[in-house]
Amino acid sequence: MSGETLPGTPGADERRIVLHVDMDCFYASCERLRDPELADEPLVVGMGYDADETHGAVATASYEAREFGVESAQPISTALELLPRRDEERLDDGDADAGYYRPVDLEFYEEIADRVREVLHDCADVVREVSIDEAYLDVTGRTSWQTVDGDSRTLAEGFARHVRERIDREVGVPASVGVAPNMSTAKVASDHDKPDGLVVVEPGEVQQFLAPLPVESVHGVGPVTARELGELGIETAGDLAAADPTELRNRFGERGRELYDRARGYDDREVTPTGRPKSLSRESAFVEATDETDAKREKVRALAADVAERARRRGAMYRTIGVKVVTPPFDVNTRARSLSGPVDDPDLVESVALDLLAEFADDEVRKLGVRVSKLSFAAEEQASLDGWEGSKPAQTSEGNASRSDDAAEVTETTGDLRQWLDADEHDDAAAADSGPGRQRNGQASLGEFE
C-alpha cells in the first residue's frame, strides 16, 4: 500500500497519536529505587553537593520536598533553610519537617534511563528522546482514538496506561504520560497532572483543553516570555490563541507565530526518531594507576564486551575499533584499527582492543576506553501495511548524534570525558530539541532553565 493521505483530507495530525512521557522527579525516583527508605519522604538531590555540606544546587526535589518550597536550581543553602537536613545517624530522628539530601549520581540515573528507554522502544515504532527523562512516542500504528463499546475511554488511553505500568513494573520508577494528536499538546498534557499523571486530549478537544491554562503551560513559553505576554494582556493559552498573529510576530519574531500555533493546538511536527551516534564508546578509570597487565587486559575485555553489546542492541555495525589509554599524569593516547568492511563481532572488538593495548603493556595506566566507530545501521523496519504508517518518509538517515547515546557515553566515564567525546564525531542536530539548559550528557545545567 502506498499509504498516501487522500487529497483534501484535513489535518493528517488529527489522526496521529503522540505520547509524551516525562519521569516524575526523576533523579529522586532513581535514589528511591536503590534506597526504599526514601519512599514518600521529602528528598532533595543536589548537584555539586556533598554529604553534610551546604554547597551545590538542587537538581530535583521529591514532591514531598516541593511542599516545603524546595525547587530545581535553588542553592542547597536555601533548600536547607526551607527543609532542614534529617540527621540520618539518629534512628529516632522522625522529624516530619526534615528531609533527606543526596548528591547527584548521574551514572546510576543513566542506567535507569536506559532501562526506561528499552521499554519505550518496545512500545512504539518511533521514539524521540529529548532528555534523560523525557521522550515522545508516535504510537499511531499501535492503537487508535476509537472507544470500545460501553466505555467512554479511547483505546489510546488504555495503551498509554499500559506504557506507564510497564515502566513502573519493569524499571520501578513513576512516569507521567500525556496523549494528544500532536507533540506540543502531548507535552502540556504530561505536565498537567504530575506526578503519576495520565492525561488524554482527544483530537476534538485540544483547544478546549489548552484554553484555560496559564500561558506558561504552552510549550516554549518561559517566565520571561510569560511576563512580556502578560504586558499585552495575554494570561492564558486561550488569550494567546485569540491574539493577533501579526502583532505576535512583530513582537516576538517567528517564535511568536509558533507560540500562537501551539496555543491553538496546531503543531504538525512529525515525531522523528532520535538520531544515530557516529561512534559508541565506554571508558573506566582504575582506582589507582596500575601497570599490571592482567588488570589492564581484564578491564579492556569488559569494556569491549559492553561496547559490542550496545552496538548490537542498536543494530549498529562498525568498521573501526579503537582504544584510549590514559597514562599519568593525564596523557591521553588513542589507537584505532580499521577493518575492510563493517562487522558486528564482539570477539573481534575484544581481540583488536587487546592487541592495541599491547603497545602499553609496560606502562602505568589510569584509565582505559574502548570505542567502535564508522558505524552503519541495518535497514529500518519496513513501513507497516496499515496505510497511515506508510505515508511517513522512510527513516534511513544516518549520522545524527543522539542525546541518548551521548548520555550512554557518559555512563562509565569519570573525569576527562570531553577528550574522548571530542574525539568522537558527533553532530549536534538532535541536541537542538533537548530543551533549554540541558547539557548533552543528560545533566541539566543550572540557571539556564526557563
Q: Could you say which of 14, 33, 54, 73 contacts ligand TTP (CB under 6 A)?
A: 73
Q: Does the footprint of ligand TTP cover residue 101 (CB under 6 A)?
A: no
Cα angle 177-142-131, degrees, rounded to a multiple of 5? 40
Nearer to ligand TTP, 60 or 274 (CB): 60
Partner from ligand TTP, Mg ion, none contacting 350, C-beta within 5 to 8 A by type: none
By DSSP bridging, strand 18-23 and strand 134-138 are: antiparallel
Nearer to ligand TTP, 245 or 435 (CB): 435
Q: Could you say which of 15, 161, 194, 249 contacts ligand TTP (CB under 6 A)?
A: 194
Contact, 199 vs 193, CB < 8 A? Answer: yes
Nearer to ligand TTP, 184 or 281 (CB): 184
Active site residue 37: no
Residue among 134, 270, 283, 412 flagged as catalytic = 134
Alpha helices in 141-182 (DSSP H): 155-170
User: Distance (Å, rounded) from C-alpha 19 to C-alpha 150?
Assistant: 24
User: Distance (Å, rounded) from C-alpha 262 to C-alpha 279?
Assistant: 36
**433 is an annotated ligand-binding site residue:** no
Chain residues 110-169 in contact with Mg ion, contact rule CB under 5 A: 133
| Shortest Å distance, C-beta 14 to Mg ion | 28
Q: Does the footprint of Mg ion cover residue 23 (CB under 5 A)?
A: yes
Sole window of 25-33, 308-316, 319-327, 339-347 interacting with ligand TTP (rule: CB under 6 A): 25-33
User: Distance (Å, rounded) from C-alpha 206 to C-alpha 186?
Assistant: 10
Strand locations in 173-224 (E): 175-180, 198-200
Burial of 10 (0-12, 13-18, 19+ CB in 10 A): exposed
Q: Does the footprint of ligand TTP cover residue 444 (CB under 6 A)?
A: yes
Nearer to ligand TTP, 59 or 248 (CB): 59
Q: Does the footprint of ligand TTP cover residue 133 (CB under 6 A)?
A: yes
**193 is an annotated ligand-binding site residue:** no
| Shortest Å distance, C-beta 295 to ligand TTP | 34
User: Distance (Å, rounded) from C-alpha 104 to C-alpha 232?
Assistant: 41
User: Distance (Å, rounded) from C-alpha 408 to C-alpha 413?
Assistant: 9
Q: Which residues partner with 103 through β-bridges?
A: 46
Binding-residue total with Mg ion (CB under 5 A): 4
Nearer to Mg ion, 30 or 83 (CB): 30
Q: Does the footprint of ligand TTP cover residue 100 (CB under 6 A)?
A: no
State the DSSP H helix or E strand holding residue 187, giving kind and residue range, or none if neither: helix 183-192
State the DSSP H helix or E strand holding residue 274, giving kind and residue range, or none if neither: none
User: Distance (Å, rounded) from C-alpha 75 to C-alpha 70?
Assistant: 10
Question: Of the candidates 90, 40, 88, which has an alpha carbon nearest to the alpha carbon of residue 65?
Answer: 40
Q: Does the footprint of Mg ion cover residue 22 (CB under 5 A)?
A: yes
Q: Does the footprint of Mg ion cover residue 177 (CB under 5 A)?
A: no
By DSSP bridging, strand 175-180 and strand 18-23 are: antiparallel
Partner from ligand TTP, Mg ion, none contacting 195, C-beta within 5 to 8 A by type: ligand TTP
Sole window of 15-23, 99-107, 252-260, 318-326 interacting with Mg ion (rule: CB under 5 A): 15-23
Q: Could you say which of 13, 24, 129, 405 contacts ligand TTP (CB under 6 A)?
A: 24
Query: 192-202: buried (b, 16+ CB within 10 Å) or exposed (e) per residue?
Result: bebeebbbbbb
Type of residue found at 242: A
User: Distance (Å, rounded) from C-alpha 70 to C-alpha 60?
Assistant: 9
| 3: helix, strand or coil | coil
Q: Could you say which of 13, 17, 26, 413 contacts ligand TTP (CB under 6 A)?
A: 26
Partner from Mg ion, ligand TTP, none contacting 59, C-beta within 5 to 8 A by type: ligand TTP
Annotated binding site for Mg(2+): 22, 133
User: Where along the sequence are the contacts to ligand TTP (CB under 6 A)?
Assistant: 22-27, 47, 59-60, 72-73, 132-133, 194-195, 443-444, 449
Residues catalogued as catalytic: 134
Q: Which residues bind Mg ion (CB under 5 A)?
A: 22-23, 26, 133
